[in-house]
Amino acid sequence: MMAQLNLQRQPAPSPRRGLALYFALPILSWAFYDFANTIFSSNIVTIFFPFYLQDAVGGNEQMNQIASTMITYTNAIVSVFLVLLSPLFGVWMDRTGRKKAYLVPFTLISILATILMGLSAMWKTDAELFGLPLSLAGVLLAFMIAKFFYNSSLVFYDPMISDLGTKQELPLISGFGVAIGYVGTLMGLVVYPFIGAHSFHQAFIPSALLFLVFSLPMFLFYKDKPAKQVQEKKPFFSGYREILATFREARAHRAIFLFMIAYFFFNDAIATAVSVMAVYAKAVVGFSTGKFILLYLVSTVSSIVGSFVFGYVTKRVGAKRAILYVAIILLIALTMASLAVNQIMFWICGTLYGVAMGATWVTSRTLIVQLTPAEKRGQFFGLFAFSGKVSSIVGPTIYGTITLLLADHGNLASRIAIGSLGILVLVGLAVHARMPYDREKMM
């Protein structure tokens, strides 16, 4: 009894500050995985895969729209499989209490598939598959595998943050992780000087190797927090029943349910814009490859600043209001992109978009942790991944369909398509405004 009383009287640990927080080994190794996977996201998804497709398929305004359609439809196909499986990964995590054990093999498969993208692009053959050159078809297939396992690894990675600190520390840890991730973008661009004007595929294998190297701190030094209780083993696909039960529970928690809907629309706009920004900047606004890389560097620095700043903004004003600010910035950026009549306007909207992109997951990840019960956090993160992946089908499909149907109108098709994303943000804002949020209870 006396031992219990002494334990109760022990003061709560004082909050860590500055370097003591950011350079704790679990936090630093966790953040470096964001550094590593952002190299894949930026180099492959955002820059060099779209440039490769535009170079292989495009050539004039009409064919550039077809290239945009191929980019968005390929991303949408990946998202279909993520919709089917990512919620089950969350259930899997809750049943076993393991995260890193699944993250590591998923990451390695993504890296291997990215290497296969490079090998396929270098394959010289006259063979065809479904009317496409076999080497191009191989790149498309390898890209879909790489992106699927990259996104699937995040289902296990994102909930790790709840094991790293207190509720007061989470916004700062989240901001630090995202900021370090965008520093990874800068590292990834070291491959650019070694790529020829029409050899964008040469970025694929070096990007995969960088992804591997900077994942090693997570692989070697991060340790899962021991699970309190591992649930009994059940068939993997029986998890759909648990997902339905969790979804009903989410509906009983109005705040979670409404934010899931709002996040659907916000992510819809963000994921689609990320996948097309390279081709849009070159084909519509007239950026050269080198100038776009410079814009992307500026946007990345803006993302780093936005990540850190919104970590503190979230702590000060609460996650709900911080997300409102981010969505407004995103809406302004998309509107300017659709109306950009010169490169200066696109420089401004690219900078604003960088701030919004960096801040979105800082604020959203914090709010998800605040709103979800700890014992079902994996399932709720899986559901939010589900929401994000469904939106990653809808947004690219809308964009790609607009550019396909209006291809004869040239660049106007892309302007209308990018403008449609602003409408999605407005819908998300309307839903987000209805979400109940008691900031005092979240602290």
Q: Any idea where the domains of the chain sit in the sequence?
A: 31-224+238-442
- What pTM was computed for the model? 0.73
| pLDDT for the residue numbered 230 | 53
Give CA angle at 332 (330, 335), nearest 5°: 105
Q: Is 176 exposed, middle or buried (0-12, 13-18, 19+ CB in 10 A)?
A: buried
Q: Per this entry, what is the length of the chain?
A: 443
| pLDDT for the residue numbered 229 | 56
Say what the alpha-carbon torsion angle 321, 323, 327, 333 is, to the nearest 10 degrees.
110
Q: Is 231 left (phi over 0), alpha (psi -120 to 50) or beta?
A: beta
Q: Taking the chain, what is the end-to-end CA distance rounded to the nearest angstrom?
A: 31
- Asked if 39 and 33 touch (Cβ cutoff 8 Å), the reply is no
Q: Is 31-224+238-442 assigned to CATH 3.90.920.10?
A: no
| pLDDT for the residue numbered 5 | 43
Amino acid at 49: F
Q: What does the pLDDT profile of the chain (443 residues) look like in tens digits?
A: 444 444 444 444 555 555 556 667 777 888 889 899 989 988 998 889 988 887 877 666 676 677 777 788 888 888 888 878 877 777 777 677 778 888 999 999 999 999 999 999 888 877 766 667 788 888 999 999 999 999 889 888 877 877 776 667 777 777 777 778 778 888 888 888 888 667 888 999 999 999 999 999 989 888 877 665 555 565 666 666 766 776 777 667 778 888 888 988 998 888 888 888 888 888 888 888 888 889 988 888 888 888 888 888 888 888 889 999 999 999 999 999 999 888 999 999 999 998 998 888 778 878 887 887 776 676 677 677 677 777 778 888 888 888 888 888 888 888 999 999 999 999 999 999 888 776 555 55
- Asked if 357 and 45 touch (Cβ cutoff 8 Å), the reply is no
Q: Is 129 helix (H, G, I), strand (E, B) or coil?
A: strand
Calpha distance 89→100 (Å, rounded)? 12
